[in-house]
Structure 1
Amino acid sequence: MTNREGTPIWYELKTQDPNAAQSFYESVMDWTFEKMPGGQEMDYRVASAKKETVAGVMRTPAPAQGMPNMWFMYIGVEDVDASAVKVKSLGGGINIEPTDIPGVGRFAFCTDPQGAHFYLMRGTSDEDSAAFTPMEPGHFCWNELVTSDQKAALDFYSKLFGWENGGAMPMGPTGNYTFIMHDGAMIGGVMDAPEKSTQPFWNFAIQVTDIDATKEAVEKAGGTVRMGPNELPDDSGWLIQIDDPQGAKIMFVGERKG
């Protein structure tokens, strides 16, 4: 893939029940799924919004059975091995060393110094990824880091990917919400975990056309709406935060039609 280094290029849900996850996201997002070769143990499914691939759903691997069902982000880099070395030099960790996936690319599974997980990826395709395409329904539109130390986290990702501080918005008792800029565009934000016991993690938003219809679809399909709809700043839409039926956190952003 030729996306600029530091761009989110793929999203992946690890879940104990891929069948149930597929059923939920099909009904809420109108995604279509294609199951990849690899047998029951691998069980990898690729989700598409219309004709563009946006995400993968896979059965949680045996070594990670203790991990909760959750979404992860792959960030594009030119050289996975060099970037993995840099992750370690900046105080992060490597959970899976750089590894090739034949016909797909090379990846590494990493942890930032505060404990949030993410992937490094160099894809073999000549086409840019469209998984992160803000304002496009069915595509991911926001990347939010919930962490224990905003300043240290931003410093880490800035040195690793060249991400920049895009300014902050006061959030009252929970502190500032700091925006992340990459290549002149806002790609996400960083916030302090509301409870100190919260394990730092990345949370993601998917664009939808109608936030109220999506909320209704989430509840009908067995998901739990934890917050919203809440209006976002600068007339950028409305947001709901949910847990899918298997407990994975995800957000949706869209307009109100009513």
Structure 2
Amino acid sequence: MTEIYHGSPCWYELTTPDPLADGRFYAAVLGWDLVDAGVPGFDYHIAKAGAAMVAGLSRPMAAGVPTHWLIYFAVSDCDATAAAIVADGGTQIVAPMDIPGTGRFAILTDPQGAAFGILRPLDGDGSGLDPTKPGHGCWNELMTSDPVAGFAFYSKHFGWEPGEAVSLDATNVYQLVRRAGADIGGMMDLPMPSMPPTWLAYFNSPSIDAAMAAITGNGGAIVHGPMQVPGGAWIVQAIDPQGGYFALSGPR
């Protein structure tokens, strides 16, 4: 049985060498509060926007892992979905395992190499995420070497549908992704051929200008933007002080 939440973005997780320092940075940029998850022997912190848990921050589990954001998608069956993804050309990074009180997760890549997580939550979609609220994840963007193959892959495993296809230039198209009748993200060609395929997490900001000032004032850097996108919102892409690549969307 495919649960109603299958394929929905359900969690955002930052792997960073200094969760507390990065927590202070995102508190300044997005108003998050950081609390220890209380997992014995594991340095994991929960970012909260008001009462809602919106993201996790943890140290790398192995040496040499760079700072990065990982997007998780909810699935009906973690083991079956992971096996199907591997059989379809994906790679398993972390095999399915349980998180007490949360659910069962795995970390994988798609055939082009972009990493993502899957989670079989214990209760509903388990997240409380609302893309319309400040501080919550609001958009999920895949930059990949083959957007057409990428869309076919995720559509097959997550049930996504195509939204509007927006022409960026004479050869490049930004393909919107829809789930349950709502746009949840987009897919596009890599901006630079040397860039590895990756998912980029966007967070809702009530003021792009204030957020940009907080980013540069707290040790981060602006990579791209601000740029207005269809629908009237403004986006900005940035790097946090530990090297994590993230983006914001909101008004100016």
**What is the CA-CA distance between 1:198 and the residue it aligns to?**
1.1
Q: Secondary structure at the match of 1:135?
A: coil
**What is the CA-CA distance between 1:173 and the residue it aligns to?**
5.8
**In structure 2, what is the equivalent of residue 48 of structure 1?**
48
Distance, in Å, in 2 between the alignment partners of 1:58 and 1:69 is 10
Q: CA RMSD in A?
A: 1.5
Q: Secondary structure at the match of 2:231?
A: helix
Among 130, 141, 144, the residue aligned to 1:144: 141
Q: Which runs of 5+ in 2 are unaligned?
A: none
- Alignment check: 8 A CA contact 1:79 1:122 kept: yes
So what's the TM-score if we normalise by structure 2?
Answer: 0.95
**In structure 2, what is the equivalent of residue 112 of structure 1?**
110
Among 241, 246, 252, the residue aligned to 1:250: 246
Among 152, 157, 163, the residue aligned to 2:154: 157
**What is the CA-CA distance between 1:128 and the residue it aligns to?**
4.1
**In structure 1, what is the equivalent of residue 78 of structure 2?**
80
Q: In structure 2, give the amino acid aligned to 1:167.
A: E
Alignment of 1:54-73 (within 5 A): 54-62=54-62, 65-73=63-71
Q: Is the alpha carbon distance of 1:163 and 1:247 closer, same or farther for their aligned partners in structure 2, counting shifts above 3 Å?
A: same
**What is the CA-CA distance between 1:174 and the residue it aligns to?**
6.5
**In structure 1, what is the equivalent of residue 173 of structure 2?**
176
Q: Which runs of 5+ in 1 are unaligned?
A: none
- Alignment check: 8 A CA contact 1:239 1:253 kept: yes
1:38 aligns with 2:35: no
Q: In structure 1, give the amino acid aligned to 2:234.
A: W
Q: In structure 1, give the amino acid aligned to 2:251.
A: E
Distance, in Å, in 1 between the alignment partners of 2:125 and 2:89 is 32
Give the share of equivalent positions with the same residue, in percent: 42
Tell me the matched-pair count. 250
- Alignment check: 8 A CA contact 1:84 1:94 kept: yes
**In structure 1, what is the equivalent of residue 101 of structure 2?**
103
- Alignment check: 8 A CA contact 2:5 2:124 kept: no
**In structure 1, what is the equivalent of residue 8 of structure 2?**
7
Q: In structure 2, give the amino acid aligned to 1:67.
A: V
- Alignment check: 8 A CA contact 2:102 2:126 kept: no
Among 196, 213, 220, the residue aligned to 1:199: 196
